[in-house]
Amino acid sequence: MKKKIGIVAEKLSHSLSPIIHNYWVKINKIDAEYVCFEIKPNEINQFYKDFKRDNNFLGFNVTVPYKENFFRVCENLNDSAKNIGSINLVYKKNKKVYGDNTDYIGFAKTYRKLVKRKIDKILLIGAGGAARSILQFLNDEEINQIDIFTRSLNKKKTLSKSMRFDNFIIDSKELRNKRYDLIINASDAGMLGRKNLANNVYKLVSNTAYIIDIVYNPMRTKLIDIAKASNVPNDGGLGMLLEQAKPSFEAWFNTKISISQYLRSKLTSQLRYE
């Protein structure tokens, strides 16, 4: 019987994950299919129970807004996931279910490809599951100062329990006249169908050394457009998407794969540029 893998979220109409994983399934001649599971918050526990009972269901990715929800229900967590406090990968191994966080890996690859100088001061936008992964990486890199900008104080307490940052900013007016070596958008602001970032963020771009936006649809968000116009080195979210997907596939099927230029082009053709 065909094996099953997939992605879980509340809404998945714009997800590229099925294209990525079904391409890898095809070229590796695996009898499996990657599908989307749109579920409501009150369906998470039942979905997880059904998954554990289904021997043909090998695992799934988790995306916004459920990364922290599945962190709480998954019984076996890898060390990186424990530190971060959220997961984006669930897989089975030796009759047990494990949770891991490959967003950390995806961001690390993006950061090291782009950043070519010492970074002392960073603005991290967002405080959700992806932002937690990125903050853990920045802590591991021993960045001197990290400011977090988000619209709500709700996540401040949980973040401060396990990770280090300097300022937790909820009013964009506090960003005026600040300067950063790197600005990272780890929120969904600028995503297709979502609101843009606060204008006070955009005003910082020209005096910033690097810009990273983890949003991949559209490929060129307003943040990336302003960075390009200001000749600020930048990277969008497509690379991170692929680099976090790779270890997921390898965990499900216990096989090594590569990210081809053909796959990148295949994804690019599906995306809007603005």
Q: What is the pLDDT of residues 67-98, one digit of tens each?
A: 999 999 999 999 989 999 999 999 999 999 99
CA distance 223 to 30: 39
Residue 274, pLDDT > 80, answer no
pLDDT at 272: 66
Could you tell me the pTM of the whole model?
0.93
Q: Catalytic site residue 67?
A: yes
Q: What is the pLDDT of residues 122-162, one digit of tens each?
A: 999 999 889 999 999 999 999 999 999 998 888 888 788 88
Section 222-247 average pLDDT: 97
Q: What is the pLDDT of residues 28-71, one digit of tens each?
A: 999 999 999 999 999 999 999 999 999 999 999 999 889 999 99
Domains, the chain, in order of start with CATH, read: 3-101+239-268 (3.40.50.10860), 104-238 (3.40.50.720)
Per-residue HEC secondary structure of 173-239 comes to: HHHCCCCCCEEEECCCCCCCCCCCCCHHHHCCHHHCCEEEECCCCCCCCHHHHHHHHCCCCEECCHH
Catalytic residue among 11, 29, 40, 67: 67
Q: Quick one: CA dihedral 144, 149, 153, 154, positive or negative?
A: negative
